[in-house]
Chain A
Amino acid sequence: MPDVTLDLIGMIIGAILTLMVLSYVIGDNVLFRVAMYLFIGVASGYAGAIAIRNVVLPALVDPLLQGDPLGLLSWEAMGTFVIPWILAILLSFKMSPRLAKLGSLPLAMLVGVGAAVVVGGGITGTLIPQGLAAADGLAGEVIFPAEGEAITIWIERALSALIVLLATISTLIYFRFAARRDLTGSTRRDRLTAILAYIGQIFIAITFGVMYAGALTAAILVLGQRFEFLRAVLGALSGGS
């Protein structure tokens, strides 16, 4: 009989919860739901505790307890302490339907700043670099073979550049939903656009297929890890390795 430690208890609880989740193979059942509710609750509580411990206390409470009260009135403290306090108080008004309007200011600030950051990062970090990368497929050093380069390597590079270029253009055209309206009132793309959009649809399908295959391999790996864990728990309970 092994020594009952907190680690062992934790492993046993983990194994039980693992079995409860795996019971979904039989069908939707109470054990599976209880495990799900438990995970959701624990994750939410843990996230709240982490937020209070790592964000609220260091930013809003510790300066009051440890800092100089007069120092909180300085210009530096205005941006790092007073304003966050005001915004936090205003945001807390969202809990009251009557005072919810007062919480719109910090919420708008959060949304606006977040959108600006995401859009700016997307333009400078994704759109322009990816556009340049797609355009580089037409560069001379990519299209034409270098001196002493094997023909097979050059063909592979050229085909890769061509495929990347075709995939980029066709995928973008697929998401172009503008079309002319014919006499019957229905919209229809012109032939060239329809062909390119169909090719783009194929590339998108390939991409999603690869993502699904990756998720499947990840699930198989997670399943194996869980069975390794169960085997480890059984070994711990049996006193073995």
Chain B
Amino acid sequence: MCSALNEEDAQTCVACGARLSPLVAGGDAPLPEFPQEPPETPSDPETGDQDDWLARIRAGVSSVEEPEEPPAYSESPTGSPEWLGGLRDADDRYNQGGPDEAIPDWMDEFIAAGDEESAEDVPDWLARVRSRKSTRSGEGEPAEGEEEQDWLNRLRDESAQLAETEGEETTEPGLEGLLPGAEEELDRQELEAPTFEPVDEVDRPTPPVLDLGILSDMPGVPGSPRSSGAPPAEERLAADASRVPSGGFGIDWAGEGELTESLEVEHDSGEQEHVPALVSDESGERPIVEIDESVLDSVELPAWLDNIRPLHAPPSEEPAEEEDASGELDLAPATLPSWLEAMRPVDSFRPEIEIESDDVQQVESAGPLAGLRGVLMAEPVVAIPRTSSATAARLEVTERQFAQGDLLHRLIEEEERESVILRRPGRRLPLARWLIGLALLVAVIVPPSINRLGLQGFSRPADIPREIAPLVTLINNVPTDRPALIVFDYTPGYSGELDSVAGTIIEHAFSRAIPLVTLSTRPTGPPMAEALLSRLGTAYAAVNGQSYLHLGYLAGGPTAVQLFAISPHDAVLTGFLLPDADEQAGVEIGPEVHSTVWEHSLLQPINHLSDFGMVVVITAGTETARNWAEQTHPWIGDTPLIMVLSAGAEPLVRPYFESTVPLVDGILTGLPAAVAYQELSGQGVDAAQRWDMFGSGMLAVELILLVGSIYGAGAWLLSLRKR
């Protein structure tokens, strides 16, 4: 529209000639007389022909494709519109059929087959075409090559028949105005044009298609492939005439899109009631005509065509932007995977700021954006707290996880459940313990009474361990001019055993008048040494300071043992229960007060560990025995090292004795060995007095073990029988 002011009752625009009053289909109003030519169409300065916007498009297309070839329609001598000639020319370029007036040989078979078709199988439209063909062939106007059915001729004839039969009944408003004389001109050009002859017009049902090149892709353009199978162009134009906008010039091409879509639906449904398109699938690739957008933009298009452009624009490079511009595309919503849906934050894109109108928005006053209106404020986005997106995430739980969670829940419930306080079962009397204790008490109490009654107790051990005799010989060979070191490394708990075992060697030493020097790495060792020596020494008139002496406590464990082995004077500074100098004066110990134990006369020959006549270690622990054996062997020299052990420590100390290069020269373990030692050395019966008690106690233990084993075996058999 030119937007020029017109009078209210004006039918057409005085400026552009466009119709201002609407057309009513079937109305009484006469058809308007559209001007044959646009009233103010500017003339082409170069050609001098009547200018048209479509001609410029065509010129642009031809300039892009074949700029060196002049437009074919310019040479047409006919009086048809220039733009229509251009369309035909462009369509010729698209048509990639055989050469003009040249039918390949293989087409003859199809032609012959087409002649043999029965009249019943021929559709009505084809029958009409054939009748016209025969009429024209009878007139002898076209040549034999021209007798090949031209689809444009059929189109013309069909259009003429339709116009004759249905022209009076169907109003076609706007068609004549849109294409004044176009049909007749089209028929004339097609009949006279020697350059376009479809090769399959006979063998195949020729559709009344007018391929218009670029415009052929436009829906609604008559003859376009997209409208194949549609009614004839006149019918569709007549039907679309009702949608011509009032006052508009021409057809609403945009509205034609709906018709095209409906036609496409019919075509897709397979109900091909109409002639198929001339452009067959065999043509395969159709050349794509690329139109320079700049050329199109430079062309002055009529206002009504502007509505077409966005609708029929080719797929642009930025479809996303177009979709955004349209805003409402009927797209199926995307389906996210469940796991991704669960991870998607809900409020990530939740708008926090409402965009205000320009009038309300404040002008930025500072920063590089000063003076701009509508600047987004950072504070609402950053500072205002909002719901965390983490809370919106949902956890997908599998069946296994659900089962595990349920199990954990039940466990927690059981933990939280108050436990029922069970009544404490009745206190059971430890009868088994009492019986065992009683048996042991009787076993150790009865034997002395039996001896008093004159009964004979257990016999002495017949088999003397083979290490006892060498030990007795060793003690007998210990020099008496040097003291023997007796180490009391056991706690009072083992005194009942070790006093008896070690007493045999001590008595043997006392009997040989070997001076004894005691030492202990345990604080409780010196008093136990004093108790044992004083008790055993009474029989041999041995007194402290004369027959024996106590070095006391040696602090430091293995390190002190090594130090004592290297330098005894540095390891032990003072003794234990040293006799007073005044009391020792009569026995030639020395007139002066001894500042250290090493000044005692018994220790005068002692400077090293090897100076002792022998070293006897009395211990109940394997650790202590190993320390003495390991730390003293480099410095002990030829001095024999004897171990008096508890029965439990023997297995781990005996290897030091039975080794090829023994670190221990003698070993005495347990009461049986002590009794055997006493018998071999001819001493008293200190150890032997406990033999009967020891024997009865061991017998009681063996019986208890036997009874317990029988009870356990019986219980096991009963349990098997119950099973």
Which of B595, B650, B661, B701 is in CB contact (< 8 Å) with A132? Answer: B661
Interface string of B540-565 (1 = CB under 8 A from A): 00000000000011010111001000
Q: Decide if B646 is an interface residue (CB 8 Å cutoff).
A: yes
Contact residues of A: prevailing secondary structure = helix
Name B633's closest neighbour in chain A (CB-CB).
A125
Tell which of B117-125, B622-630, B676-684 binds the partner.
Answer: B622-630
CA distance A122 to B626 in the complex (A): 8
Q: Are A222 and B629 in contact (CB under 8 A)?
A: no
Q: Are A224 and B647 in contact (CB under 8 A)?
A: no
Interface string of A66-110 (1 = CB under 8 A from B): 100000000000000000000000000000000000000000000
Q: Decide if A59 is an interface residue (CB 8 Å cutoff).
A: yes
Number of residues on chain A facing chain B (CB within 8 A)? 49
The total of Cβ contacts below 8 Å across the A-B interface reads 159
Q: Are A222 and B630 in contact (CB under 8 A)?
A: no
Q: Are A121 and B558 in contact (CB under 8 A)?
A: yes
Q: Contacts A132-B661, A222-B494 known; list 6 others, CB within 8 Å.
A: A129-B659, A129-B663, A130-B655, A212-B648, A218-B647, A225-B497
Name B525's closest neighbour in chain A (CB-CB).
A50
Which of A51, A121, A225 is in CB contact (< 8 Å) with B627? Answer: A121
Contact residues of B: prevailing secondary structure = helix
Q: Are B652 and A122 in contact (CB under 8 A)?
A: no
Given A125-B663, A225-B496, A228-B690: A213 touches B647 (CB 8 Å cut-off): yes
- List 28 interface pairs A-B (beta carbons < 8 Å), by A numbering: A27-B433, A50-B526, A54-B576, A57-B574, A59-B573, A117-B559, A117-B631, A121-B627, A125-B633, A126-B629, A126-B656, A129-B659, A129-B661, A132-B660, A207-B652, A210-B650, A211-B649, A211-B651, A218-B646, A218-B647, A218-B670, A220-B440, A222-B495, A222-B496, A223-B496, A225-B495, A225-B496, A231-B448
Q: Decide if B445 is an interface residue (CB 8 Å cutoff).
A: yes
How far does the Cβ of A120 sit from chain B's closest Cβ, in whole Å? Answer: 8
Interface string of B426-441 (1 = CB under 8 A from A): 0000100110010011
Q: Decide if B698 is an interface residue (CB 8 Å cutoff).
A: yes
How far does the Cβ of A122 sit from chain B's closest Cβ, in whole Å? Answer: 6
Which of A122, A207, A217 is in CB contact (< 8 Å) with B647? Answer: A217
**Which residues of chain B in 679-695 are interfacial with respect to chain A, using CB atoms and an 8 Å cutoff?**
690, 693-694
* Chain B interface residue number, banded: 35 or more
Q: Are B650 and A223 in contact (CB under 8 A)?
A: no
Q: Decide if B500 is an interface residue (CB 8 Å cutoff).
A: yes
Q: Decide if B615 is an interface residue (CB 8 Å cutoff).
A: no
CA distance A241 to B555 in the complex (A): 40
Instruction: Kindly list chain A residues whose C-beta atoms are within 8 Å of the C-beta of B694.
Output: 217, 220-221, 224
**Which residues of chain B in 563-580 are interfacial with respect to chain A, using CB atoms and an 8 Å cutoff?**
573-574, 576
Q: Are A118 and B648 in contact (CB under 8 A)?
A: no
Q: Which of A114, A225, A226 has the most CB of B within 10 A?
A: A225
Q: Decide if B667 is an interface residue (CB 8 Å cutoff).
A: no
Q: Decide if B523 is an interface residue (CB 8 Å cutoff).
A: yes
Q: Are A118 and B497 in contact (CB under 8 A)?
A: no
CA distance A100 to B701 in the complex (A): 52
